[in-house]
């Protein structure tokens, strides 16, 4: 399951793990004009973990999901 919310300066996508136990914490993706952030709570450290990707990195990641193993460069 996931939700999409449009805020003033970002689009927020929340991914909820509904699979079999053990379940993972929700993943929250914030899409800003200049970058994408991905957040997930880590119960082991009791901290919110955050990754920031450039828009170019996010495009590469999206393209990589549909490609076979190899090294690629987007034009």
| Cα distance between residue 16 and residue 23, in whole Å | 9
The tokens 């991905």 sit on which residue?
38
Distance between CA atoms of residues 73 and 14, nearest Å: 29
Question: DSSP 3-state assignment of 18?
Answer: coil
User: What pLDDT sits at residue 37?
Assistant: 98
pLDDT value at residue 45: 96
Distance CA 33, CA 7 (A): 12
Show the tokens assigned to 4: 């999409």
Q: What is the pLDDT of residue 26?
A: 96
pTM of the model: 0.83
Residues of the chain with pLDDT under 70: none
Residue 36: how many other CB atoms lie within 10 Å = 20
């Amino acid at each position: 399951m996931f939700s999409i919310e449009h805020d003033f300066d970002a689009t927020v996508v929340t991914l909820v793990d509904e699979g079999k136990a053990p379940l993972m914490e929700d993943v929250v993706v914030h899409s800003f004009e200049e970058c994408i952030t991905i957040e997930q709570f880590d119960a082991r450290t009791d901290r919110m973990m955050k990754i920031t990707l450039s828009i170019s990195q996010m495009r590469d990641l999206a393209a990589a999901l549909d490609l076979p193993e190899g090294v690629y460069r987007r034009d």
